[in-house]
């Protein structure tokens, strides 16, 4: 899961990935069974050839107004870095009388601290032109009303169009990966995980609309990077279980993603250990559209020019 929390800094940053598990212990004769999160399938209620979902992005990430069981609206982030169908503030879940269907355990990868939270079941969610039924929601206070995860759209080709502030859903699929603008990805922890070439090395990247920053790297990944401008501290950031410093610098080398070349980009460095870079919604905004084909695990980045500049801030 990803969410943003600003802690005395001039930029907002993300809460890095929170790995989630579902706890199904009550009915198993006292045996505690921990399973990697595999959300109950949502059932899209509308079968139109295309569904449009408008969003706002004043806070740097896509946000939608969501009706839960016909009540609301509530403010949710649309987060491709969320492995659940949805997340809801437990207070709102209680106010709505949502039934609890289990417990979840989360682990903050910045310090491996574990937390437990309830799982709730909503009869229906509705936002924009999209409806889903019988949605299992992870109960966690992330500072807003909730989060909509990418898996809720898995029956559709999900296209983010940042310039027009909308998401378009179609019953379609992407062509095979061509290594130019269409790429295969994996989902080892339930979120898009792909490869990018940095300084001639293949590194793993999470594609994460819940983070406003364009490109961020854990400090542990930056050993060997050459800098045109060395990273300087720009503030502090926080997760629900950790706080850490963040820095910004300009790379001396270019970054490559298929046909796209990022010329000596400015990037953010988080003072944490980690195995993945994070490309946030600021990265999405560099393209006319970013499309996810979850059934085939492919993502497409579309824009006219191949050379891309990323400045500071």
Q: What CA–CA distance (Å, rounded) separates 219 from 215?
A: 13
Alpha-carbon torsion angle 104, 208, 279, 155, nearest 10: 130
Q: What CA–CA distance (Å, rounded) separates 232 from 115?
A: 32
Confidence of residue 242 (pLDDT cuts 50, 70, 90): confident
Q: What sections of 152-311 are H helices per DSSP? A: 281-284
Residue 45, C-beta contacts closer than 8 angstroms, at least 6 positions apart: 124, 131, 132, 133
Confidence of residue 26 (pLDDT cuts 50, 70, 90): very low
Tokens, residue 181: 């603008």
Decide: 150 and 144 in contact? Cβ < 8 Å. Answer: no
Unique residue bearing structure tokens 């990805």: 185
pLDDT digits (tens, 9 = 90+) for 64-88: 999 999 999 999 999 998 888 999 9
Alpha-carbon torsion angle 49, 86, 102, 100, nearest 10: -90
Q: What CA–CA distance (Å, rounded) separates 141 from 137?
A: 12
Tokens, residue 272: 């944490």
CA-angle at 271, arms to 263 and 292, nearest 5°:
55
- Indicate whether 58 pLDDT > 50: yes
Q: What CA–CA distance (Å, rounded) separates 135 from 206?
A: 24
Cis, peptide link before residue 92, omega less than 30° from 0: no
Tokens, residue 37: 């999160």
pLDDT digits (tens, 9 = 90+) for 164-209: 999 999 999 999 999 999 999 999 888 899 998 877 788 999 999 9
Domain spans in the chain, listed from the N-terminal domain onward: 1-313
CATH class of 1-313: mainly beta
Q: What is the per-residue pLDDT for 241?
A: 75
Stretch 146-160: mean pLDDT, rounded? 96
Q: Bridge partners of 194?
A: 205
Tokens, residue 140: 């966690």
Q: Bridge partners of 229?
A: 250
Unique residue bearing structure tokens 């907002």: 12
């Amino acid at each position: 899961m990803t969410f943003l929390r600003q802690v005395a800094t001039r930029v907002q940053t993300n809460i890095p990935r929170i790995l989630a598990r579902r706890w199904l212990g009550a009915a198993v004769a006292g045996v505690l069974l921990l399973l990697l999160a595999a959300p109950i399938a949502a059932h899209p209620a509308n079968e139109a050839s295309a569904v449009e979902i408008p969003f706002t992005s004043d806070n740097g990430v896509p946000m939608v107004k969501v009706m839960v069981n016909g009540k609301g609206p509530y403010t949710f982030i649309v987060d491709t870095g969320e492995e659940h169908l949805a997340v809801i503030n437990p207070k709102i879940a209680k106010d709505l009388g949502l039934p609890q269907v289990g417990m979840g355990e989360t682990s903050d990868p910045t310090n491996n601290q574990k937390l437990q939270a309830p799982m709730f079941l909503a009869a229906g969610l509705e936002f924009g032109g999209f409806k889903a039924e019988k949605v299992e929601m992870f109960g966690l206070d992330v500072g807003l009303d909730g989060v909509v995860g990418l898996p809720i759209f898995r029956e559709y080709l999900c296209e983010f169009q940042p310039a027009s502030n909308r998401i378009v859903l179609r019953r379609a699929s992407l062509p095979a990966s061509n290594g130019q603008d269409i790429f295969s990805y994996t989902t080892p922890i339930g979120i898009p995980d792909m490869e990018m070439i940095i300084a001639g090395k293949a590194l793993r990247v999470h594609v994460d609309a819940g983070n406003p920053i364009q490109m961020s790297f854990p400090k542990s990944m930056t050993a060997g990077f050459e800098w045109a401008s060395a990273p300087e501290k720009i503030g502090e950031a926080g997760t629900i279980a950790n706080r850490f410093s963040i820095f910004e610098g300009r790379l001396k080398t270019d970054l490559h993603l298929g046909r796209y070349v990022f010329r000596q980009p400015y990037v953010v460095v988080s003072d944490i250990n980690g195995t993945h870079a994070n490309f946030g919604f600021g990265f999405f905004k560099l393209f006319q559209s970013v499309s996810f084909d979850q059934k085939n695990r492919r993502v497409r980045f579309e824009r006219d020019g191949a050379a891309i500049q990323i400045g500071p801030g």
